[in-house]
Every structure is written in structure tokens, then in C-alpha cells.
Amino acid sequence: MDEYKVTSRSEQDTISVAENLEAEKFPGMVICLNGELGCGKTVFTKGFAAALGIDDVITSPTFNIIKEYLNGEMPLYHMDVYRLEDKIESTGLLDYFDKDGVVIIEWANMIEDYLPEERLDIYFKVVEEDTRVMKFVPHGTKYEELCEDAL
């Protein structure tokens, strides 16, 4: 399995990467974001949402778990599963994997056993104050092609 690495030196760099991925979007897309607090997960989601034409203010859905944005080119389902622990079956989260929009999950490693087999994992690592390394790990042909085209 191929891995792709992109270095971001600013929030705008992270937003640009998200916009490039959004340009290759498809219904049922699942993007899993992993990394410590403040590493750029929500910034990435803001860039993706803006490129979809969503003009809502995007914040991390920490206490909501799921925020739905339905006013763009395609629905965006933004999840933060950090506080879920073992309650995933009762949340209806898994139903979102079969919808026609894009699912972006922050802290996806917390629910790894429930994630769809085909997905894009992105790992954010802070290397300096404004510098992040994003490692993209595609699972499945669609996601490998997405990385080839967008990165």
C-alpha cells in the first residue's frame, strides 16, 4: 500500500491540500483524520467544506459528535468521535458510511474497528510551530487514485 506525505507550513497549505482532495470527491467518500490536538484536523475540514461551497462556520463537533452540512455541492458529515468510547452502535454513526455525501471523521483511530474497509486515513504530525506533515494512507483503489490525482 502506498503512502503519500505532504508538508504544510501554514493553515493555508492545509486548506489547499483539502481543496485538492475535494476536487476529486465522490459520493460515499470517507476521510479519517488522526493526530494530536491542534494539529490541523479541523483546519483541513474547513478547507474541504469551503471547496464544497459550504459557507457555514466549521468547528469541531466535539460535543455534538456529528454536524451535518447540507448546503454544499454534496452533503458533508463532520464527526468527532473522541468522546465516544464504546457507544458507537447507539449513535447511528455507522449509517453515515452508506450516505451519498462525504464523511470526515476526527480522531478516527478511536473507532478503527468500525471504519469502512475502503477509506482515506490522514495522519497529522506537528513538526514545528507552523509545520505539519500529513501522511495519507489510502485503503482501496478509489482512494489510491484519489491520492495519485490530488497530491
Could you give the domains of the chain? 4-150 (3.40.50.300)
Confidence of residue 60 (pLDDT cuts 50, 70, 90): confident
Mean pLDDT of 102-114: 94
Confidence of residue 132 (pLDDT cuts 50, 70, 90): very high
The single residue listed with the C-alpha cell 494512507 is 137
Exposed e or buried b per residue across 1-12, where buried means at least 16 C-beta atoms within 10 angstroms of its C-beta: eeebebebeeee
Confidence of residue 86 (pLDDT cuts 50, 70, 90): low
* Residue 127: its H or E element: strand 119-128
Confidence of residue 9 (pLDDT cuts 50, 70, 90): very high
Q: Write down the pLDDT at residue 62.
A: 73
Nearest to 92 by CA among 110, 101, 79, 76: 79
Mean pLDDT of 116-123: 97
pTM here?
0.95
Confidence of residue 124 (pLDDT cuts 50, 70, 90): very high
Name the residue type at position 40: G
Question: Quick one: DSSP state of residue 57?
Answer: P
